[in-house]
Structure 1
Amino acid sequence: MTLSKGCILCHQGAKMVLFVTGRCHRSCWYCPLSSERKGTDTVYANEHPVDIPSQILEEAENMSALGTGVTGGEPLLCLDRVTEYCRMLKGHFGPEHQIHLYTAKAPTDDELGQMTGLVDEIRLHPPRECWETILESEFIRSAQRAKEMGFDIGIEVPALPGLELLIAALPFLDFLNVNELEWGETNASQMRERGYELADELHNAIDGAKGWAAELCRHGKVHWCSSAFKDSVQLRERLKRVADNTARPFDEITDDGTIVYGVLEPLPELHQASVQFCREKMEPDSFEDCGERIEMAWWLLEKYADEVPGKKYVLERYPNGGMIVEVTPV
C-alpha cells in the first residue's frame, strides 16, 4: 500500500482542512457537501468560518498543523485565493508545510504553473462518467504534466461500482485513494433512488461500498479510507491537537479530543455575587467570568450546584469554541 505524504499527516491528525469555496462546476450525485456550504463562496479553516486570511494561520497554529488539505467545492474556481492562502501558509510555516489540493478539474499547464512551489500534492477527482475512458481523458494528460512539473499526483474517488476501471490509470499515478461512500443530508435522496442503504447504525458508510473497491485495492498504489477511520481516528487526532493548544486549565480533554466544562447562568442581578462566590471557593484558574455566564471545571459546578442559583449544565464540545456535542443539565 502506498500512502501519500498528505495521507500520512492526515493519519496523525496533523492536517488543517482548508475549505476555499462551495462553488463547483460539477453536480456529482454522490457529493456529501452540507447544504450550509454547497454552492456558497465561503471559506472555512477546519470547522471555523474565515473572514480574513490571518484566521487561517491562527487555526493552523491552534492545531500545530504540519500541513493543509485544500478542498471545496472546486478550489480551482478560485485559484487566486488558493495561491494566496498557500503562499501565506508556506511563508509562515516554511516550505516543509505539506499542502495537498483536491480538484474535479484536470489542471491546465497554466494552472499547474501557478501552483508550483505552493501545492505539493494534487488529488484528481475524475467523475464517474469518465472512468470507462480514463486513459483517453484529460485527467491522465494532466497527471503526466503534473509529475513532470514536480507534483505528487494521485486520484481520489468515492467507492462506487466500476472502480476496477481505474486500474488502467495506476501507471500514471503516485497513489490512488478510495473513500468509503457516505450517506449525507444532500445526497440522501439520490442514495435512496439507487437503493443504497447504510452499512450500520454508527457511521454513514454505504453497505457494499468496500466490495466495489476490492479488486482495485489489491494494487499497491491504492489506499482504502473508511468512514469509521475518518470519524474515529483522523478527526479525533486533529481535535486532540487543537485541544492541547487551546484548552483552558479547567477544561477537561476527553479521549475523543473534545473538551468538557461546567456552565453557570445566574440571574443578571446575581451575576456579581456568583462571581464573588467563585473567587472565594475556587482557584483563580478553575473558572472564568464570560459576561452573562460563568464557565468552570465541571466537577466544581457539580460540587457547588446547591449553593449557587441559576441555570447549570455541563457542556461537551469541540475545542476552541467548536461544535457542541452534548449538554447535560446539573
Structure 2
Amino acid sequence: MPQKPGTSPDETTLSRGCILCHEGAKMVLFVTGRCHRACWYCPLSRERKGRDVEYANDRKVASRSDVIEEAENMSALGTGVTGGEPLLVLDRVVELCTLLKEHFGPDHHVHLYTGLAPDEPILECLRGLVDEIRLHPPHESWPDILDTDYARSAVLARRMGFSIGIEVPALPGIGNLAAALPLLDFLNINELEWGETCAAAMRERGLEPEDGLHNAVLGARKWAEELPPDPKVHFCSSVFKDSVQLRERLRRIAANTARPFEEVTDDGTVVYGVLEPAGPLDGFLESLDEDDYVVCEGRVEMAWWVLLDHGAGLPGKKYVVERYPNGGMVVEVTPLDVAIRD
C-alpha cells in the first residue's frame, strides 16, 4: 500500500522535486495550456486550458524577466515545468530552463511533467536543463504499461542521467502501474481533484466531491490502495497541496515581498488596512513614518492596527484586507466596524 493519504512521506524516499515542493521552494512554471490529449479529469481552469499562455506561479508572464522576478520573490530553489503539454513548445522549455539555470546556477532543480514519451533527441535537448521527468501515461495504457513508449522512455531517460518517474491521478486500475516500478525512481499518485472544466465529465461517471471544503473526489484515496507497499510509491492528497505546499510557497513570497506595514499570517497571506478618504485627514498621515503607509490611487494602505486605533476619527470608507502576498488574490475584505466588533 502506498504512503498513507494525507500524511507527509518520508523525505528520504521522495524525489528531489517533491522535497522542494513540500518546502514550498518550487516555482510552478506553466509554459502552455495547449495539449495533444483531452483527459476527462484535467482540472485546468478556463483561463489556461487549451490556450497558449504562460504563468509563473499565478502571475501571467509577459516577459522573461517576469519569470526570474517571480522566482526571486519566493527565493525558489527549483522550478516545476508544467502545462498543458510542455513538450509541444520544446524550444520554449529549453529557453526558459536555460534562463533559470544560468541565472540561479546548475543546482536550481527543474522537474518537468509530460504526457508524451520523450525519445532520445528530445531528451538530449533537455539534458543538463531538466533534472527530473514525470511521465503521465494515458489511463487506457496502464494495463499494458511495459509495452508502451512510456516504459521505453523511462529506461532511456534513466540511462541518460535523468531522475525518472510516473505521476498520475488516482483512478481505478492504478495498480497496473506497479509493473513499471523497477524502471522508475518514483511513482507519484495525486488525489483526483474536482475542477470547473471537468465537473461535467466527473458527474457523468458518477463521481462527486469528498466534501464542500476541498477539491478531492470521493473514493480516489481508495483507488490508490491498489498499489503495493513500495518506497517508490507516494500519494499526494488534495488537502496536503492546499494546506502545506501552497502555504509554504506563500510564506516564502511574503517573507521577501511584504511591505513594512503588512502583517504576514501563518498561512502566508498578508493583512493590512485601507482607508478611502471622504474628506481631509487633518494631519493624520504626517503623524506616521514613511514606512507606515502608502497612497495608491486615492486609497491609503497602512497597518491594520493603526487603522483600528485611529479609524473612528477618520472620514471615509475603512476596511481590512487579507490577500496573497505581492499583490495576489484577495482572500477576505472586512469592514472596519466588523473588525472592531470581532
The bucket for the TM-score relative to the shorter chain is over 0.9
User: Could you say which residue in structure 2 is the equivalent of 1:164?
Assistant: 175
Query: Is 2:285 the partner of 1:278?
Result: yes
User: Could you say which residue in structure 2 is the equivalent of 1:309?
Assistant: 315
How many residue pairs align between the two structures?
325
In structure 2, do the counterparts of structure 1 residues 199 and 24 end up closer, same or farther at CA, with 3 Å as the change threshold? same
CA distance in 2, matches of 1:206, 1:124: 22
Structure 1 residues 1-330: aligned runs within 5 Å: 2-216=13-227, 218-267=229-278, 270=279, 273-274=280-281, 276-280=283-287, 282-330=288-336
| Alpha-carbon shift at residue 326 of structure 1 (Å) | 0.5
CA distance in 1, matches of 2:66, 2:85: 21
| Alpha-carbon shift at residue 284 of structure 1 (Å) | 2.3
Q: Find the residue that maps to 1:99 and give its secondary structure.
A: strand
* Per-residue CA distance 1:133-180 (angstroms, 9 max, x = gap): 111111011111111111000000000000001001111100000000
Percent identity over the alignment is 66
| Stretches of structure 2 lacking an aligned partner (at least 5 in a row) | 1-9, 337-342
2:178, 2:228 within 8 Å by CA — same for their partners in 1? no
1:217, 1:223 within 8 Å by CA — same for their partners in 2? no
| Alpha-carbon shift at residue 217 of structure 1 (Å) | 5.2
Q: Find the residue that maps to 1:37 and give its secondary structure.
A: coil
CA distance in 1, matches of 2:35, 2:281: 51
Q: Find the residue that maps to 2:165 and give its secondary structure.
A: strand
Letter in structure 2 aligned against 1:304:
H
* Per-residue CA distance 1:245-293 (angstroms, 9 max, x = gap): 00011100011000000111224xx4xx44942222x232111112321
* Per-residue CA distance 1:87-129 (angstroms, 9 max, x = gap): 0100011000000000000012111111000000000000101
TM-score by length of structure 2 reads: 0.93
In structure 2, do the counterparts of structure 1 residues 312 and 213 end up closer, same or farther at CA, with 3 Å as the change threshold? same
CA distance in 1, matches of 2:30, 2:173: 29
Letter in structure 2 aligned against 1:230:
K
| Alpha-carbon shift at residue 80 of structure 1 (Å) | 0.7
Q: CA RMSD in A?
A: 1.2
| Stretches of structure 1 lacking an aligned partner (at least 5 in a row) | none
1:217, 1:224 within 8 Å by CA — same for their partners in 2? no
CA distance in 2, matches of 1:178, 1:43: 25
1:275, 1:289 within 8 Å by CA — same for their partners in 2? no
In structure 2, do the counterparts of structure 1 residues 255 and 275 end up closer, same or farther at CA, with 3 Å as the change threshold? farther
| Alpha-carbon shift at residue 76 of structure 1 (Å) | 0.4
